[in-house]
Chain A
Amino acid sequence: NAGVTQTPKFRILKIGQSMTLQCTQDMNHNYMYWYRQDPGMGLKLIYYSVGAGITDKGEVPNGYNVSRSTTEDFPLRLELAAPSQTSVYFCASSNRMNTEAFFGQGTRLTVV
């Protein structure tokens, strides 16, 4: 049972570079989420999706983009990396909104 899988686990980017954080889940969940976690700040919702083809902004969407072409995959795109995007990113999924969420192991991103 893989659950929610994120790749890569670690990444260092230079300012202005772009990258995609991958997320896939094998639980057939309709709802998927991207959060960022900064020390002392808890988790902030970046984007979420209620099903394939449907995405919406969370609290802190600026500088990010997402797509949801399949139920399983929910990649997060950073177009022009900035130092403020240095963070730990978590992908999560749930079978309904606001029920138990299952989290991936996170991607630690540093922008220098």
Chain B
Amino acid sequence: AQSVTQLDSQVPVFEEAPVELRCNYSSSVSVYLFWYVQYPNQGLQLLLKYLSGSTLVKGINGFEAEFNKSQTSFHLRKPSVHISDTAEYFCAVSSSLTSGGYQKVTFGTGTKLQVIP
């Protein structure tokens, strides 16, 4: 069964500092990977996704993530955070099936990014 782990439930970081939010998944087959952001009292919106091709994926708001198959990771990074980046971030995975197609998306438990002025 597929799963995704976000080890850090909360990450405090000072404004203009870099940040990395960690995501590891368990799957030995092809995967689709996603990062979503949830601002307070709102639904989730897609930050970026990896389906195939280049392992470095760029998303909205200056975020990027790198797919590392050997380490089964898809960490999210931003070189300089802003107050407006304060939100909860969810990693999600969908693994391929031996019968064809992909499994339904599984979400991680989320990481709350707190940007400190």
Contacts and interface: CB of A to CB of B under 8 A. Distances in A.
B94 A98 contact: yes
Contacts of B32: 98-99
B108 A42 contact: yes
A42 B107 contact: yes
B90 A101 contact: no
A42 B43 contact: no
Nearest to A9: B41
Q: Which of B34, B105, B107 has the most CB of A within 10 A?
A: B105
Interface string B76-117: 000000000000001000100000011111011110000000
B97 to A, nearest CB: 11
Q: Chain B interface residue count: which class?
A: 20 to 34
Interface stretch (B12-20, B44-52, B62-70): B44-52
A100 B42 contact: no
Contacts of A105: 41-43
A90 B46 contact: no
Given A42-B108, A43-B107, A103 B45 contact: yes
A48 B44 CA distance: 17
A66 interface: no
Contacts of B43: 4, 90, 92, 103-106
Q: Chain A interface residue count: which class?
A: 20 to 34
Contacts of B108: 42
Contacts of A97: 101-102, 104
Contacts of A53: none
A104 B45 CA distance: 9
Nearest to A48: B104
A97 B102 CA distance: 8
21 contacts: A4-B43, A35-B107, A40-B110, A41-B109, A42-B90, A43-B90, A48-B104, A58-B104, A90-B43, A90-B44, A92-B43, A92-B44, A98-B105, A100-B34, A100-B49, A101-B44, A101-B46, A103-B45, A105-B42, A105-B43, A106-B41
Interface of A: 4, 35, 40-43, 45, 48, 58, 90, 92, 97-106
Q: Give me the 3 closest cross-chain CB pairs, A-B, nearest first.
A: A103-B43, A98-B94, A42-B109
